[in-house]
Amino acid sequence: MKYFLLSVLLFSGADVFAQNAVAKASTLYDHTSAHMAACIWGGFLLVGGVGLLLFFTTPLCRDLSYDPETNLPRPLKQRSFSYAKTQLFWWTVIILSCFLGVYIYTNVLVDITDQMVILLGGGLMVGLTGTMIDRSQMQANNQDMPSRHQDITASQGFLLDILSDESGVSIHRFQAVVINLIFGVAFVVGFVANLKGKVDPFIKFDPNQMALLGVSAAAYLGFKTSENGKETKIDRQVAAVQEVNRKKEEENLAAPARQTVMFQAVETRLKSKGMV
């Protein structure tokens, strides 16, 4: 409940703090570059290019996950992408790219709007809260062996990773992805249209639209707290052991020497109960 209230308050607060123009259009466009499209693309290439490089080559938007068999962190490419971190990345790239594009085009370092601060702050709040929930679930699930759903299998690809929880693809994650995608694209399209019309560059969402973003974020966090619960821990341990054994059969390998005592103990216990 506290995550729900915090998210709705943060995003819908734009109506309270909304202001008018951040820079008067009459002076903002006095000394513009002759190539608006090149300036906009420059902003997106600089921020987005560096961002995408980090996105695919570092743990920037990936969960920390552990191999159930060895209890060691998975290699980077095997870690699942995180929806919470991806949402923060999405809004960071969009807002900073637009901000830089305006500066390149007008040579004016315009003030950002309150809604932009709320969008970035909301993304940061979702990312931070998601990380805190992950840490709590690690402590609850990794005593015997890593058994969170993020640990059982390696990354299934970006889209499936951010859309899936322990039950598979989920409607609340799908809703959150679609809503953020629509609003992000609308922000960029409105930004370009405003530059062409020589009006204040950054669009302002309706208070109800900001509230919708908040509700979506709150729903994601609320459902995330119910993931990896103790009532499904045994089922996830069974799935982890089965996944390890399946990989060994596919690779035709014996149990590696690095296999932990914890994993062997859990596997033995589950076998004695006829569960694997």
> What CA–CA distance (Å, rounded) separates 254 from 248?
7
pLDDT by residue for the chain (276 residues), tens digit each? Answer: 555 444 544 444 444 333 344 445 556 777 677 788 999 999 999 999 999 999 999 999 999 888 888 888 989 999 999 999 999 999 999 999 999 999 999 888 888 899 999 999 999 999 999 999 999 988 888 777 888 888 888 899 999 999 999 888 999 999 999 999 999 999 999 999 999 888 889 999 999 999 999 999 999 999 999 888 877 788 887 777 787 777 777 766 555 545 666 667 776 777 776 776
The predicted model scores a pTM of 0.80
Beta strands 168-169 and 164-165, pairing class: antiparallel
Q: Token pair of 254, please? A: 């014996």
What pLDDT was estimated at residue 189? 96
3 state SS of 158: helix
What pLDDT was estimated at residue 23? 41
> What CA–CA distance (Å, rounded) separates 58 from 203?
32
- Tell me which residue of 13, 212, 222 sits closest to 129, measured CA to CA: 222
Kindly state the helix (H) or strand (E) to which residue 168 belongs, with its residue range: strand 168-169
